Structure 1
Amino acid sequence: MNEGIGEAVSQIRGISRSSLAIAAFSTIVEWYDFTLYLYFATVLSRVFFGGGSMSLLTTLGGFAVAYLMRPLGAVYFGHIGDRQGRRHMLLLSVALMTAAMLATAALPTYSQIGAMAGWLLFLLRCVMGFSVGGEYTGVVAYLLEGAPLKRRGLVASLASAASEIGALLAVGISAATVALMDEASLQSWGWRIPFLVGAVLAATVWIARSTIEESPEFHRQVAEQTIPDSPLRHSIGNHCGAIGRAFAISALGSITYYVGITYVPAFLTSAGALSERASLWLSTAAAVVVILVTPIVGVLSDRIGRKPVLTVLALASALFPMAMFALMASGSHLQALAGAFVLAGLAGGVSAVGAVATAEQFPGEGRVTGLALGATGATAIFGGLTPFIAQLLVERTGYAIAPGAMIGIVGLCVLPLFLMMKETAPRHSG
């Protein structure tokens, strides 16, 4: 696997190895913050909403609403990326993320100012959602445009793998913070530590990104004078089908990830299957599974194509998640671990092939805006909203399998589209 990654990096044309590596691994920060919020949801519900039966649902609801800002940010930053370059876009988005995370770490708590604490947290989540909109799509476009044609799947999958490293850091730091502190210290000041770490990570990424080169695809558009005057109008007018396909791919990727991975700690804790501490450590192990699976699936998509890999993953998404949630709710640590590992592998696989498959739906002109409309729009609905809906369904119905049913329904809905869509992998298309 390491030889494959090294070969992919060495064949980049027009982008240095260091620029490629910085772009791929800078997704750590985006996913660190957003998964931190979900992994830390039970703690934040006490710190900002005073605890109680509705506090966790309110915390997840705030995440869901704020996540709706992501498509707006994606369109805004996508316009910048398509008009002024991918590099400029990526610098602006991470600068805003740094400021938002630093401000979150400095917020007063519910015990200090009452309900206003929750509103301030919600406001900063909206800012974060807006800034994150420009992150993942910009990075994926940048990697795709610098990758060798026959290694696009592997190279683009590195962004997904790096994202999960960010999630691994988030769950690891969350678990360590909870484990090393008593409840009073955690609610007083300890909860700030993970957000301060995130602010430092984001600032480091900004410094590193300031050294990267511009995408060769954007240079081509400048030279040929093909940059669209209005990327939004260009994408809607010329690539509606591509936007729909990107939406479907990202819908599956989002729900498998946000319900199948990041919601799991809250599910295990609220269902009484595991303690808060144990569920966070279990999620740390699940994050490792995703990191291992992602490049493997990226290589597989290069060898056999995007279409067959997506089709198999959609079918697996329809068949397995309900059983895995039932397994995790059993109360057994071993069964919870097995269920979480299967769900993590499934989500990691969809994320890996989904990164390259969505970007390949669009030509270079207007690519980032097209991704914003399709991929990020789906993520806002099937990512940000789904943990809240999953928790609501579990509480209202009493069925532990409800979150798995949500994943299964999406898998069934997108399967026919995957069967019909054209192959986009260069060596298999045409």
Structure 2
Amino acid sequence: MTAGAALPPRKVSRGSLAIASVSTVVEWYDFTLYLYLAPTLARVFFGTGEGALAETLAGFAAAYLLRPLGALVFGQIGDRFGRRRAMLLSVALMTASMLATAALPTDAQAGAAAGWALLALRCVSSFAVGGEYVGVVAYLLEGAKAERRGLVTSSASATSEIGALLAVGVAALVVGSLSGPDLDAWGWRIPFLVGAALAGGVWIARSAMEESPEFERQRATDATPARPLRDMLTTHRSAVARGFAISALGSITYYVGITYVPSFLASAGVRTEGEALSLSTAAAVAVILATPVAGALSDRFGRKPVLVAVALLSAALPVAMFALVANGSAAAALAGAVTLAAIAGGVSAVGAVATAELLPGEGRLTGLALGATGATAIFGGLAPYLAHRLVEATGWPGTPGLMIAAVAALVLPVLVLMPETAPAKAPG
């Protein structure tokens, strides 16, 4: 039996599960908003030079390196003091960072200091988001019925994409309804103020959540780990490594296949900012629809076959889909964007529950931080910047798709050889 198969019989209420899953809206609203607004933020904080967009994406990549550190810090808080406490602290930090971002001076007002201030606050936000992922995934897994873990845990991915959809919707509304000068002068602040209000609401809702039954079991039996980081590194290295591989595929399919697309189209000059954001809106809807389907399929057939299937699709389709997005008709571009999004949604849905099930309850959040969040920093944070540079160097629109395909080919053997983690399908 896998490490995550045996969980305590008591489950949390549906209300607490709903709060945990829905609250991921703010996590992905905040972080994807930066990418969706990247062309605007480039002008506002880095000027109108040719390298402004590259600097903006480089800032995203650099800030993302704080995500694993945040996951480790909040993960150890969750493992030692409770999942609920870690989730309250992380969303409070996100609220503060978004409010501060909305109040920043621009390049015209403060010069280079404005760009550095934006980068500093993105680092704070990235640190907080790292804690969000590990806390929510562990909480949903530990609170769900064994036969519905895939569907329930996948709800975090689906509702987080609602946050991304809200981000692209707010960004599109603001960009489309304001003149260029008004957008650059003050309009760009509106989406960050909306995000701060969302985060504050999530903090209030989370304060009413129950604690995870898995953590309560550990506390009742005096099994709470005193050194979860050491335990994961010494006794669960293989599970952490598998989680890293799964999350590498999930991260690159999402961050290159979905959130990089507006910047990709802006640099190619083939679509307006509004058209690019409209494609991203359609992609977000596709993820919301695909994610629960993939989660339910993993409950029915197992995590392993579903992950292998989406990895094969990730290896075969992205190059052609990026070509459609860049050079096809409006309908072809839409089909390409939706296909990329559906693949990413499938990987995220099943990858989240599989990586959590590979780990024991004692130290689960820290294990997720080491594996899943570590991979996201590399294949999520750095990948959009690398894709942008490679497209500039080669002039080939299929380059981002080739990046996804290469990672999928490397991860596929790990998926084929990994043990099944779904309780109904796992041996033993």
If the TM-score is normalised by the length of the shorter chain, which range does it land in? over 0.9
Structure 2 residue 209 is matched with structure 1 residue 247: no
| Residue in structure 2 matched with residue 340 of structure 1 by the alignment | 337
Amino acid at match of 2:262: P
Structure 2 residue 372 is matched with structure 1 residue 375: yes
- Which among 349, 360, 363 is matched to residue 366 of structure 1? 363
Q: Equivalences for 1:214-233 in 2 at 5 Å?
A: 214-233=211-230
Q: Distance in 1 between matches of 2:330 and 2:22?
A: 32
| Residue in structure 2 matched with residue 355 of structure 1 by the alignment | 352
Q: Distance in 2 between matches of 1:397 and 1:335?
A: 23
| Residue in structure 1 matched with residue 281 of structure 2 by the alignment | 284
Structure 2 residue 256 is matched with structure 1 residue 259: yes
Name segments (4+ residues, structure 1) moved above 6 Å: none
- Which among 135, 141, 144 is matched to residue 144 of structure 1? 141
| Residue in structure 1 matched with residue 128 of structure 2 by the alignment | 131
Q: Distance in 2 between matches of 1:262 and 1:151?
A: 29
Q: Equivalences for 1:1-80 in 2 at 5 Å?
A: 13-80=10-77
Q: Distance in 2 between matches of 1:270 and 1:243?
A: 37
- Which among 190, 195, 198 is matched to residue 195 of structure 2? 198
Amino acid at match of 1:56: L
Task: Report which stretch shifted further, 328-337 or 109-118.
Answer: 328-337
Task: Report which stretch shifted further, 191-200 or 274-283.
Answer: 274-283
Partner-residue secondary structure (3-state), 2:63: helix
Q: Distance in 2 between matches of 1:126 and 1:272?
A: 30
Partner-residue secondary structure (3-state), 1:246: helix
1:37 is displaced (CA, Å) by: 0.3
Q: Distance in 2 between matches of 1:378 and 1:394?
A: 23
Amino acid at match of 2:140: L
* CA deviation profile, 1:292-316 (whole Å, cap 9, x unmatched): 0000000000000000000011111
* CA deviation profile, 1:144-189 (whole Å, cap 9, x unmatched): 0011001000000000000000000000000000000000000000
- Which among 398, 423, 427 is matched to residue 426 of structure 1? 423
| Residue in structure 2 matched with residue 297 of structure 1 by the alignment | 294
**TM-score normalised by structure 2 residue count:** 0.97
| Residue in structure 2 matched with residue 116 of structure 1 by the alignment | 113
Residues 273 and 331 in structure 1, CA contact (< 8 A), matched pair in contact too: no
Structure 2 residue 152 is matched with structure 1 residue 155: yes
Name the Cα RMSD after superposition: 0.8
Structure 2 residue 103 is matched with structure 1 residue 106: yes
Q: Distance in 2 between matches of 1:263 and 1:332?
A: 20
**TM-score normalised by structure 1 residue count:** 0.97
1:331 is displaced (CA, Å) by: 4.9
Q: Distance in 2 between matches of 1:358 and 1:144?
A: 11
Gaps of 5+ in 1: 1-11
* CA deviation profile, 1:255-307 (whole Å, cap 9, x unmatched): 00000000011111211221111110111111001000000000000000000
| Residue in structure 1 matched with residue 407 of structure 2 by the alignment | 410
Structure 2 residue 401 is matched with structure 1 residue 392: no
| Residue in structure 2 matched with residue 174 of structure 1 by the alignment | 171
- Which among 283, 304, 318 is matched to residue 315 of structure 2? 318
| Residue in structure 2 matched with residue 8 of structure 1 by the alignment | none
Q: Distance in 2 between matches of 1:17 and 1:417?
A: 34
Amino acid at match of 2:284: A
Residues 154 and 292 in structure 2, CA contact (< 8 A), matched pair in contact too: yes
Q: Distance in 2 between matches of 1:114 and 1:332?
A: 41
Residues 146 and 215 in structure 1, CA contact (< 8 A), matched pair in contact too: yes
Residues 168 and 281 in structure 2, CA contact (< 8 A), matched pair in contact too: yes
Task: Report which stretch shifted further, 12-21 or 223-232.
Answer: 12-21
Gaps of 5+ in 2: 1-8
Residues 11 and 142 in structure 2, CA contact (< 8 A), matched pair in contact too: no
Amino acid at match of 2:161: E
